[in-house]
Amino acid sequence: MQDYDLLLTSETMTRIDAAAQEEFGISGLVLMENAGRALWEAFPDLRTAPAVFCAGPGNNGGDALVAARWAYLAGIQFSVITSRRELNESAAVQWRILERLGVERIVWTEAPRRCREVLAGAAIVVEGIAGTGISGPLREEPASLVSEINTLTAPVVAVDVPSGARDGYRSGEPLVTATVTVVTGYRKRCLYTAAVRPAAGEIRQVDPGFPPDLIRRYSGLPRVIEGTPVPVGKLPPLSPDGYKGTRGRLGVIGGAPGTAGAVTLAALGGLYGGAGMARICNGAMSGGVATVTSDPALSADPAIMVDPDSSEHRRNLINWSDVVVVGPGWTGAGDADLLEVLREAAHRSTPVVLDAAALRLLGQGGGGDAREFLRERARPGDGASAIILTPHPGELAFLAGETAQEVSSEPWRIMEELSRELHACVVLKGAVTIVHDPERGVVVIDGRCPALGTAGSGDVLAGLIGTWAVRIGSAGEAARIAATLHLNAGRTLADCRGWFTATDLAAAIGREEMRAREAR
């Protein structure tokens, strides 16, 4: 298997497919044969009988028909359903071979009742009704077949993408809910949006035989990481002479009555991520007097240094820190508070991770002084230090002035625009984490772990990203490594213990890095 972890739009995939045929002389039928046979060989469960192969009129349907032929050659009982009678030239070639072998097909638009009966008796369904080349929602006939498939209890294998998925897919449009999606060649970008990812199920990958020279042309495209293994090649070596002052000093500004635990969790995320020291400004201003809230930091780890949240203490903390995380639990802050912190950090050239309440301040109408400061500071050549934004989907929508549906369908465009506006690395947190680094491009960290959806998990990640921004010196790489460690720690805990808390997660992160180093 070649390096097929690139993420492609439908348009780019069409160009690659055309180049393979026109420049290298690899016919579409050869690519289709390779894809269909690889699908068959990569998925032993297709040997389950009776199988049903549902094919549309295009190339995805042709791939499914090739796999059906290999089922025939293996002596597997199966049926073929096509969404309509007419097929494109390549898919028609594949059907004619099956027809000469004596295989019967049932056409959905002509015999829907019989199709339903066959589907109801299926042990497994392979569907290639539509690919990413569709220009809009599925039309009525294929959409009704998709709806029927979604009523089944049998596992469903989608060819390349669940039918209905496309660039710009909107939640609520017809979409197959697959158990497994077998990607042919490059991974399709739409699979990793919040609108489509739940329907894709487990994502596997097969190689249809694109030439290596063709692949190398697209090395700058976004990439996807499955979450394991940790990218240990990017981890700097641990110095045997290191001490707390050389391992990084993490500062955290936030906390307020009722949310004091957020800054503590961010500090723990940083400490377990390798920081030598952590210090927090935690509290609230009352009548111009700084007060510390009821403080969980000392009970969580007495090594965490705690100051009340005041202008003076913030300045001192930024001056002390190698990186500052701003926003966890910072519910009492205003735009002027954030602006003060950003100015001081810029003056000190201190990297800043903006999370939670800090993001909400940046998003208030888009015209606050803090946001304007970042816009001005983002001008090329000013030597501005790193800014890392860590929104969840709702926060990204608020930051960008977009709807939640747009974020779930087109996060790529929204993140790019926000990253360009604020010259920031944007980390979109979710079941799939997307890192948009203006210097190094886009990386997607897949490997969904529902147990990570626990209060404080994002605070731990913010502190971990901050620590890695110091350890590795690159905002994008820091976010990628931190998100991968965070995910893997969550998966390990879930496998061993089931549900867990954010405090458990922070402690597990340190073990995850050591495990990755030992495996190298």
Q: Go through the chain and tell me how many residues it has.
A: 520
Q: Does 198 lie in the same domain as 240?
A: no
CATH number, position 509: 3.40.1190.20
Q: Give the DSSP per-residue string, 214-246.
A: HHHTTTTS-EEE-S-S--GGGSPPPPTT--TTT
For residue 14, the model assigns a pLDDT of 87
* pTM of the full structure: 0.91
Q: Give the DSSP per-residue string, 331-377.
A: TT--HHHHHHHHHHHHHHT--EEE-THHHHHHHSTT-SHHHHHHHHH
Q: Give the DSSP per-residue string, 29-52.
A: HHHHHHHHHHHHHH-GGGGSSSEE
The answer to whether 341 touches 318, Cβ cutoff 8 Å, is yes
Domain annotation covers residue 228 = no
SS3 of residue 7 by DSSP:
strand
Among the candidates 190, 221, 252, a domain finishes at: 221
Q: Does 352 lie in the same domain as 321?
A: yes
Q: Does 217 lie in the same domain as 242?
A: no
Domain annotation covers residue 226 = no
Q: Does 198 lie in the same domain as 151?
A: yes
> Which pair of tokens denotes residue 294?
């009821």
Q: Does 241 lie in the same domain as 216?
A: no
- Select from 187, 182, 159 the least CA-distant residue to 2: 187
Looking only at the bridges linking them, the beta strands covering 425-428 and 433-437 are: antiparallel
Q: Does 248 lie in the same domain as 151?
A: no
Q: Does 247 lie in the same domain as 104?
A: no
CA atoms within 13 A on the CB side of 6: 21
Domain annotation covers residue 394 = yes
Dist. CA 445–CA 424, nearest whole Å: 19
Domain annotation covers residue 409 = yes
CATH number, position 215: 3.40.50.10260
Domain annotation covers residue 183 = yes
- Structural domain count, the chain: 2
Domain annotation covers residue 217 = yes
- Per-residue model confidence as pLDDT tens for the chain (520 residues): 444 578 888 888 888 889 999 999 999 999 999 999 999 988 777 778 899 999 999 999 999 999 999 999 999 999 999 999 999 999 999 999 999 999 999 999 999 999 999 999 999 999 999 998 898 999 999 999 999 999 999 999 999 999 999 999 999 999 999 999 999 888 999 999 999 999 999 999 888 888 888 877 876 777 777 655 455 555 667 778 887 888 899 999 998 888 889 999 999 999 999 999 999 998 654 444 445 544 565 567 788 999 988 999 999 999 999 999 999 999 989 999 999 999 999 999 999 999 999 999 998 666 689 999 999 986 654 445 699 999 999 999 999 999 999 999 999 999 999 999 999 999 999 999 999 998 888 999 998 899 999 999 999 999 999 999 998 888 999 999 999 999 999 999 999 999 999 999 999 998 888 777 766 5
Q: Does 250 lie in the same domain as 201?
A: no
Among the candidates 165, 191, 221, a domain finishes at: 221
Domain annotation covers residue 227 = no
Domain residue limits at 32: 7-221
Dist. CA 181–CA 367, nearest whole Å: 43
Q: Does 106 lie in the same domain as 164?
A: yes
Domain annotation covers residue 461 = yes
Q: Does 175 lie in the same domain as 28?
A: yes
Q: Does 366 lie in the same domain as 314?
A: yes
Among the candidates 165, 199, 221, a domain finishes at: 221
Number of Cβ within a 10 Å radius of residue 347: 12
For residue 154, the model assigns a pLDDT of 96
For residue 298, the model assigns a pLDDT of 56
For residue 202, the model assigns a pLDDT of 93
DSSP-derived secondary structure letter, 6: B
Dist. CA 370–CA 351, nearest whole Å: 16
Q: Does 186 lie in the same domain as 245?
A: no
